[in-house]
Amino acid sequence: MDLKYEFYIGAAPEQVWDAFVSPEGTRQTFFGCVIRSTFRPGDPYEYVGPGNDGEETVHVYGSILAYEPYKVLSYTEHPGPSYHSNHAELETRVTFTLEPVGGCTKLTLVNDQWKPGHPSYENAKGHWWMILSNIKTLAETGKTLDFGW
């Protein structure tokens, strides 16, 4: 049930990191959202952006587990309250890891600790490919993909 993705990206770890952590990067790669957090382990975070509840929709939220700039970002993840009434019970773990490989960066994403029947599993399985492809494209070209949204 674990979701694991590996991408090799023709950019420095700093550029890849900015594509999925900085407000400028996440707006472009995570469907217009930004991450709100102190990024201290144990502290909360939330991805907020346009959606079901307007411009301030909480899409996912949880707690920071690990934060090492340009190396590791790990957090628990719950779907936002507007998606499932039992959102607090629906928890997975997401871990982004960056490693330099020659002149490029290996981005590994693991989304694990899924409980059987989790209603967001199929959605996550498809959306991670889009998000990671967008991160790769943005880091390499400075542009994002047009998914027709």
Whichever domain contains 109, its CATH number is: 3.30.530.20
147 in a domain, yes or no? no
CA distances from 12 to 30, 39, 131, 140, 144 (A): 20, 21, 18, 9, 17
Residue-range definition of the domain harbouring residue 80: 3-141
146 in a domain, yes or no? no
pLDDT surpasses 80 at 149: no
- Please tell me the predicted confidence (pLDDT) of residue 4: 98
Give the mean model confidence (pLDDT) for residues 24-29. 91
116 in a domain, yes or no? yes
Is residue 93 within 8 A of residue 111, CB to CB? The reply is: yes
66 in a domain, yes or no? yes
- Please tell me the predicted confidence (pLDDT) of residue 1: 85
The model carries a pTM of 0.93
Helix %, strand %, coil % of the chain (to 5): 25, 40, 30
Three-state secondary structure readout of 30-82: CCCCEEEECCCCCCEEEEEEEECCEEEEEEEEEEEEEEECCCEEEEEEEECCC
pLDDT tens sequence across 52-104: 888 999 999 999 999 999 999 999 999 999 999 999 999 999 999 999 999 99
| Token couple for 108 | 């590994």
114 in a domain, yes or no? yes
Q: How many domains does the chain have?
A: 1
Q: What CA–CA distance (Å, rounded) separates 35 from 131?
A: 15
- Please tell me the predicted confidence (pLDDT) of residue 15: 96
| Token couple for 102 | 């020659």
- Please tell me the predicted confidence (pLDDT) of residue 41: 97
Higher pLDDT, 149 or 11: 11
Region of 76 on the Ramachandran plot (φ > 0 left; ψ -120 to 50 alpha; else beta):
beta
CA distances from 139 to 3, 26, 128, 148 (A): 22, 12, 16, 20
